[in-house]
Structure 1
Amino acid sequence: MILTLLSATSSNQVSSRSTAPSTGSGSNTRTRRKKQTDSLTASSHAVDTSLPSNSAESSAVSTPARTDQSENQNSQSSRQSTESSVNECVTSQLRLRSAQKASTLVRVMFTGISNTAQLEKAAKYLSYSHVKDISKCTHLIADEAKRTIKFLCALSKGVHIVTSQWLLQSQKAGKSLDIEKFLLRDEKSEKLYKYNLRNSLRAAQENGGLFSGLRIHATRQTKPPPSEIKDIVAAAGGKFCTSAPKSSSSDLYIISCEEDAKVYKRLLKTGFQVVTKEFLLTGILRQKLEPNLYKLL
């Protein structure tokens, strides 16, 4: 019985030793796991804590980059604005020079207008030249189709014939207006002499001179006087003969009148073609050579 008790006691001691290490190992394992968990948590906190620092550094780095980009954009915008201003300035100067150059090509002359002071002022404002020589005129200013020397010469040369309103309205607009709206139209004159001024101007511009290739002579008492007829003939492309020709020719016409009847009748006998002044005056208005309508017999 004593042996039995000793055996049981010994067995319990062994069992107790066996259980104790096992319990200690589990406790250590739990302790290690807890330490690992705490370590991971601490690491996580450390990472979280470092994030604001990285964000700040990123912000610190990106801010200068954004500033540089903004400065580059501003600089580029400034250059573009400057270039645009320069281009606009150059374009404006070119337009001004073009307008000034165009205005110097306009040379006006007046006819049949009693008071030209206001018109001359308008022409000066527009930088137009006021000329006295019909050969230099580009625009004749007339409000009626009166058969003045200037008018007939201008028509013969195909010069633009416009009303005074062209100058006045152009001055008001501050620029040269299209002449199409201001071309002279005189229904009374056109009906009386049976012509169309616009058509006649067009014909003069296209044909290059009604009397081109012809010679004209005028007797002493013809009206307008020979000195003025000379200018009209020259403007129409013809040649004026100051002295009486000695022989007749198909390209030669003598302009005469009843006051010089003795002269022209003598010329008729020798075969000259003698016509009235209307051969010249109405012929220019119509831009037609019609000697048979104006023969002197």
Structure 2
Amino acid sequence: MAGVGSSSLPPVFIGNCKVAIEGSGISCESSETGLVISVSNNAKINITVDESKVYSRRKSFSYQKPDIKYQIDAEMGFPTKEHSFLLLNPKDVDSQNKTFLQEVLKLYTEELPSMNYAANTGKKSHFLEKCILSGKYQTLILRAENAIGPGEVVAAASYQIIPSDTQYAEIPLAAVSSKNQNMGIGRALFKELKERLQNVGILQLFCWADKTSEGFWLKQGFIPVGEVDGKGKAGRLPVKANIRKALSFPGGSMLMVAQLKKVTTSKISLPHSIGCKSGEIELTDADDKDDTSEQRLKRPLWEASLSSLKLKRIRGAHLISCPVKSNQDFPCGNCFAGSSGCNDMAVVLPDHSSSASYLVTDDAGKLSSDTCEKMVVKQSCPRVIFMDIANDAKKNLLTKIVEELGGSVTCDGSDSTHIITGKARRTLNFSIALCSGAWIVSPNWLKSSFKEGRFAEESQFILEDEDYLLKYKTKLRDAVERARRNPHSLLRGYDVCLAKHIQPSAATLSAIIQSAGGHVIKSLSSILEPSKTIFLACEEDMSEAMAAAKKSIWTFNSEWFMNCVMKQELDLEAPQFAESL
């Protein structure tokens, strides 16, 4: 086709675009492979999208609208209609949410008919309704938006974050409507769900697959680990008991698992009072057993620039005589697990003084001036242990906050000065830290420290734990204050002998005894002064306990000992173990 001198040409369609040319001196030449348009200076070319020209598939698609992110790569075929993700929580009672949940139920009923019947009975089951409407699971949907109405549910995936361990999640149900299958929609939905779960600290993901969906999950990186037979009975599964208890176990299905990569964040959140953008971080006051995605305590935190944060840290460091530390000095991941897997530069030597002694030497075994400076810094700077925070992203963020204020994070109870927790735990690190005179504070202490620009005074932030009060008949504040007045002194002057079968292990109890100022002896034959000796035994060591009692040695069990540690009171008036036998 060719035209010259025409005032206008009929519109030319290229894909779903309409090209309209207006003006004089226009020539147009077309071929099977291209189109050449020549115009004069006064001509005008308008290119617009023709909404009536819609392709069923495209090589790539990218759509973005406020508050909703969606991208799909070139490998996925996809309709060019507008789509968006929406998270449904059955506890939200608005009408649109209810409508979508009913659509999800209809989708699951049509696409997963076998899930709607109890295993090997032929009787209708309420499994689908429970997964969608009970409140235990949330559902992520992909909807096709319409000009009229809320839109159509194209795909859905229901999931839960395991309450007993928030690093695990389960997907019991997932489906794509039959008319939209084999277009990459399932992969796009799972990609979005995986990113959301990674962002909240999920490290391992379980799903349930049948013979039809097994291939899809294998492509997403899942591997099978066990099966549930048609009667709903599961064989041996390599899953921890507390996690297994929370799983759904649909009959005739296969359990599959995938590992997710850790997601770290570089954002720092600061108080609103600093005049920065608002942010939020979750700090859990309950332990892993009580931590559900709905029960997490959301605490408003505060987002600010590193420069303003550094200014506050320097001011705080000056007040507590701490040097400025590099932002790159992060603790290892094991520090947050409550283990002693970290090698610290300082060796804490419990003695009978009023405070711990620190011995730090250089490679030659001598104390240099630089080493002495580090010793002073180590004694004056807060050294924090985080407990009950399972999310690595949160731990890294809080670690950075502590370091920016001039402190450090440790994994060693004997080296700590502060424990930040929501519960008083009878763990090794907690017991050692308490005996050493460490502060046991709530997460509010760290938040208040940021507001002040330095570490806040601790006494008003000592943890208040109702369970502790009910169990030990005293306030945790009283125990903390007793230990701070006299650190390492609960067992000062006492020898402690441990029976062969004692539990917790002799190594664990020995570490706590030494932190409390006591001296561990190996056998009753080593006793020098019976009135200053305590023998800890259990029922398996009855004969030794009776022999110790005859020598006027204090005999108790490990429960008595741990109660004394938690209360920081040596209760020698309690019934002795030999007497109870």
TM normalised by structure 1 equals: 0.60
Give the superposed CA RMSD: 2.8
Is 1:194 equivalent to 2:473 in the alignment?
A: yes
Question: Which residue of the partner structure matches residue 422 of structure 2?
Answer: 143
Is 1:233 equivalent to 2:513 in the alignment?
A: yes
Q: Is the 8 A contact 2:417 2:437 kept in 1?
A: no
Question: Which residue of the partner structure matches residue 256 of structure 1?
Answer: 537
Distance 1:245 1:117 in 2: 50
Q: Is the 8 A contact 2:322 2:406 kept in 1?
A: no
Deviation of 1:189 after TM superposition, in Å, equals 1.0
Deviation of 1:113 after TM superposition, in Å, equals 3.8
Deviations 1:99-140 (A, max 9, x none): 473475111123344343333232233231112333321111
Amino acid at match of 2:318: S
Counterparts in 2 of 1:201 and 1:96: CA distance versus 1, 3 Å = closer
Deviation of 1:267 after TM superposition, in Å, equals 3.0
Question: Which residue of the partner structure matches residue 330 of structure 2?
Answer: none
Report the 3-state secondary structure (helix = DSSP H, G, I; strand = E; otherwise coil) of the residue aligned with 1:167.
helix
Is 1:98 equivalent to 2:318 in the alignment?
A: yes
Is 1:108 equivalent to 2:388 in the alignment?
A: no
Question: Which residue of the partner structure matches residue 119 of structure 1?
Answer: 398
Amino acid at match of 1:286: K
Compare the two structures and name the one with the higher strand fraction: 2
Is 1:210 equivalent to 2:499 in the alignment?
A: no
Is 1:167 equivalent to 2:446 in the alignment?
A: yes
Deviations 1:152-183 (A, max 9, x none): 22221221111223224434664323323321
Distance 1:144 1:194 in 2: 16
Q: Is the 8 A contact 2:442 2:462 kept in 1?
A: yes
Question: Which residue of the partner structure matches residue 88 of structure 1?
Answer: none
Q: Is the 8 A contact 1:111 1:150 kept in 2?
A: no
Report the 3-state secondary structure (helix = DSSP H, G, I; strand = E; otherwise coil) of the residue aligned with 2:454.
coil
Deviation of 1:265 after TM superposition, in Å, equals 2.9
Question: Which residue of the partner structure matches residue 185 of structure 1?
Answer: 464
Q: Which one has a bigger Cα radius of gyration?
A: 1
Q: Gaps spanning 5+ residues in structure 1: where? A: 1-91
Counterparts in 2 of 1:96 and 1:111: CA distance versus 1, 3 Å = closer
Counterparts in 2 of 1:138 and 1:192: CA distance versus 1, 3 Å = same
Amino acid at match of 2:497: H
Question: Which residue of the partner structure matches residue 83 of structure 1?
Answer: none
Counterparts in 2 of 1:249 and 1:200: CA distance versus 1, 3 Å = same
Comparing 284-293 with 214-223, greater Cα deviation is found at 284-293
Deviations 1:255-289 (A, max 9, x none): 11123224323433444321112332111232222
Counterparts in 2 of 1:114 and 1:243: CA distance versus 1, 3 Å = farther
Compare the two structures and name the one with the higher helix fraction: 1
Deviations 1:206-235 (A, max 9, x none): 234111111111112222211111111111
Distance 2:553 2:564 in 1: 19
Q: Gaps spanning 5+ residues in structure 2: where? A: 1-311, 324-376
Q: Is the 8 A contact 2:316 2:455 kept in 1?
A: no
Distance 2:423 2:525 in 1: 37
Instruction: Work out which structure has the larger RCO, using CA pairs closer than 8 Å and 6 or more positions apart in sequence.
Output: 1
Distance 1:167 1:178 in 2: 10
Distance 1:128 1:97 in 2: 8
Distance 2:531 2:477 in 1: 30
Amino acid at match of 1:98: H
Give the total of aligned pairs.
Answer: 206
